[in-house]
Each structure stands twice: as structure tokens, then as C-alpha cells.
């Protein structure tokens, strides 16, 4: 039973990282670097909680969170794509805006009981020892995250539109010369990434901790950004990386509960320390990094230049 409980908590911790990272992966494959994932996640979390609390429906909260993340991503798209502002600075500014706006919106919801999204239960299958609840007794967002991984992998590597998106990310000038609507593809990619970030935020406030707490994303948006690099811009590697980081997060909580003689502050920093270590190790392999990194990543595109 303890093994099953650990699996369930790891999945719950990994799901928001996986969804947010998949959205950012598609964005970066188009050649756009969105550092505003954290801000979009927190806006999704607060809007999802607020909508669910006011209507009593977790599904309405889920839709509201996706719309909030998408709306924030359109703001990012307008600034970085239409106005061709610096993508790094724009993303950071939107993260700060999201953190501030979410605190203002959520001020009246602090301490209120949330609406939890109920888990799915399949009679007979859920009772299978060790893996029953993990495979057949999860919340709907967990299954959405797995389906999303398969869908993104199929889209990027099995469809013409996915090939075009990757071509834009590698050389937007050549793609434009061939008549590809570069900005349209990038806008759609940014919109998808924002919607995923909003969905990831909804998982936090409707499943992980069904309540509103200021700054409840706690840096998960930054970890999602690191996951994309860790996975070398490959969807299934993002899945593996998300569960690895989820295991680190849950592992440090169990270690604290067991009373291991290590300062709790150090244990709480382990997920972020693991992120730094992984990025350092990846950066040592220059060939792998250059081979998979979209060549136009972070570069503004203006058609008439």
C-alpha cells in the first residue's frame, strides 16, 4: 500500500510539470522562447480556483484556467511576435505580471475551501494490487497529460504541420521564403503553450492542493522550462523527466517525514538543486545540445527585414 501511495503522489507532483513542459516544448520547437510559463501557470491556478469556487464545478474551473493561460500567452505573442520585442525580457515581465495579478485576484479567495476534481474509479481494475489506482484511479488531468504527450509526439514527428513547425524553429527565414506563414504558426504554438500552462496551474489548485495559496506554483514553471532542455526537445523524454523531478519532490517530503537529520530547508531545495545539476550535465555535451536545439530559438522574426 505504501508503494502505491508513493506512486500516486509522484504522479500528482509530476503532472503539472509534464503539461507545462509539453506546451513549452511546442513553443520552443517553433523558435520562440517563452519565459512567462510561471506567470501563465499561476494565472491558470487562480482563475481555475476562482471559477470552480464560484460555480461549484471543477470542470468549469478547468476551462477557465485554460482560457486564462491562453489569454496571457496571446499578450506574450502580441509583444514578442507582432511587436518583435525581446523574448527573454517579455517572458520575464509576464511572469512578474502574472504573480502580481494572481495575488490581487486571489486575495478574496484565501482560506476558502476549494472544489476538488474527483478521481476516476473503474470497478475491478482500480483494486489491482500496486498499480490499480495508479493506472485506473487517477484524476482526469493525469490522463489528459498522458494523452497530450502522445498527441504532441505524433504531431511533431508524424504530421506535415509538425514538420513545418520544426522547420520554422530551425530557420524561420528560409521557411518564410518558401511561403510558410511563420507568424501564424508561432502564434498557434504560443497559444497552445499558454493553454497548457493554464491547465497545469488548474491541476495545482483543483487536484494537488484544492485551495488558493499565493505563489502556489513555487517555481514549477521554471522547472518545466528546464525539463524541455533536459528532454532535448523530445515529448517522451519530457514525460520521463517530469516523473523524475516529481519523484525528487515527493522523496524529499518523505525524507522530512521520516525525521532524517538534514535541515528541512535543504530538503525543500532538492528539486531545484536537481534542476541545476541536470542543466550543468546537459550543457557539457555540446554536440547533443546543438543537434537538438531549434536554431532560431529566441530570435525575433519580422517578415519585411
The pLDDT tens digits of the residues spanning 193-222 come to 999 999 999 999 999 988 898 889 988 999
| pLDDT above 90 for 262 | no
Domain 2-116+124-292: top CATH class: mainly alpha
Q: pLDDT band at 131, cuts 50/70/90?
A: confident
| pLDDT above 80 for 268 | no
- pLDDT tens digits for range 53-101: 999 999 999 999 999 999 999 999 999 999 999 999 999 999 999 999 9
263: buried, middle or exposed (CB in 10 Å: 19+, 13-18, 0-12)?
exposed
Per-residue cell: 201: 496551474
Distance between CA atoms of residues 294 and 29, nearest Å: 6
SS3 sequence, the chain?
Answer: CHHHHHHHHHHHHHHHHHHHHHHHHHHHHCCCCCCCHHHHHHHHHHHHHHHHHHHCCHHHHHHHHHHHHHHHHHHHHHHHHHCCCCHHHHHHHHHHHHHHHHHHHHHHHCCCCCCCCCCCCCCCCCCCCCCHHHHHCCCHHHHHHHHHHHHHHHHHHHCHHHHHHHHHHHCHHHHHHCCCCHHHHHHHHHHHHHHHHHHHHHHHHHHHCCCCCCCCCCCHHHHHHHHHHHCCCCHHHHHHHHHHHHHHHHHHHHHHHCCCCCCHHHHHCHHHHHHHHHHHHHHHCHHHHHHHCCCCCCCCCCCCC
- Domain locations in the chain? 2-116+124-292
Whole-model pTM? 0.92
| pLDDT above 80 for 255 | no
CA geometry: angle 253, 256, 260, nearest 5 deg:
140
| pLDDT above 90 for 283 | no
Q: pLDDT band at 111, cuts 50/70/90?
A: confident
The fraction of the chain above a pLDDT of 70, given in percent, is: 89
> Mean pLDDT in the chain?
88
Q: pLDDT band at 132, cuts 50/70/90?
A: confident
User: How high is the pLDDT of residue 272?
Assistant: 73
Amino acid at each position: 500500500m505504501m508503494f502505491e501511495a508513493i506512486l500516486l503522489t509522484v504522479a500528482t507532483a509530476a503532472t503539472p510539470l509534464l503539461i507545462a513542459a509539453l506546451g513549452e516544448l511546442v513553443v520552443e520547437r517553433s523558435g520562440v522562447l517563452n519565459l512567462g510559463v510561471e506567470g501563465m501557470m499561476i494565472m491558470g491556478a487562480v482563475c481555475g480556483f476562482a471559477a470552480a469556487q464560484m460555480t461549484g464545478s471543477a470542470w468549469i474551473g478547468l476551462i477557465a484556467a485554460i482560457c486564462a493561460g491562453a489569454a496571457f500567452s496571446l499578450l506574450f505573442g502580441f509583444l514578442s511576435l507582432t511587436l518583435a520585442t525581446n523574448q527573454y525580457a517579455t517572458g520575464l515581465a509576464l511572469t512578474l505580471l502574472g504573480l502580481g495579478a494572481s495575488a490581487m485576484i486571489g486575495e478574496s479567495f484565501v482560506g476558502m475551501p476549494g472544489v476538488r476534481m474527483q478521481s476516476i474509479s473503474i470497478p475491478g481494475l482500480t483494486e489491482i494490487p500496486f498499480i490499480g489506482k495508479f493506472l485506473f484511479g487517477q484524476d482526469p488531468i493525469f490522463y489528459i497529460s498522458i494523452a497530450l504527450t502522445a498527441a504532441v509526439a505524433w504531431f511533431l514527428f508524424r504530421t506535415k504541420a509538425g514538420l513545418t513547425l520544426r522547420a520554422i524553429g530551425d530557420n524561420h527565414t528560409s521557411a518564410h521564403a518558401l511561403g510558410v506563414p511563420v507568424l501564424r504558426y508561432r502564434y498557434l504554438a504560443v497559444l497552445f503553450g499558454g493553454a497548457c500552462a493554464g491547465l497545469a496551474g488548474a491541476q495545482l489548485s483543483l487536484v494537488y492542493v484544492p485551495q488558493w495559496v499565493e505563489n502556489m506554483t513555487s517555481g514549477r514553471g521554471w522547472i518545466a522550462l528546464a525539463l524541455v532542455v533536459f528532454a532535448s526537445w523530445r515529448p517522451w523524454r519530457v514525460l520521463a523527466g517530469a516523473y523524475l523531478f516529481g519523484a525528487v519532490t515527493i522523496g524529499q517530503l518523505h525524507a522530512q517525514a521520516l525525521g532524517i537529520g538534514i535541515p528541512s530547508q535543504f530538503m525543500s531545495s532538492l528539486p531545484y538543486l536537481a534542476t541545476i545539476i541536470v542543466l550543468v550535465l546537459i550543457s557539457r555535451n555540446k554536440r547533443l545540445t546543438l543537434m537538438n536545439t531549434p536554431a532560431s530559438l529566441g530570435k525575433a522574426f519580422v517578415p519585411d527585414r
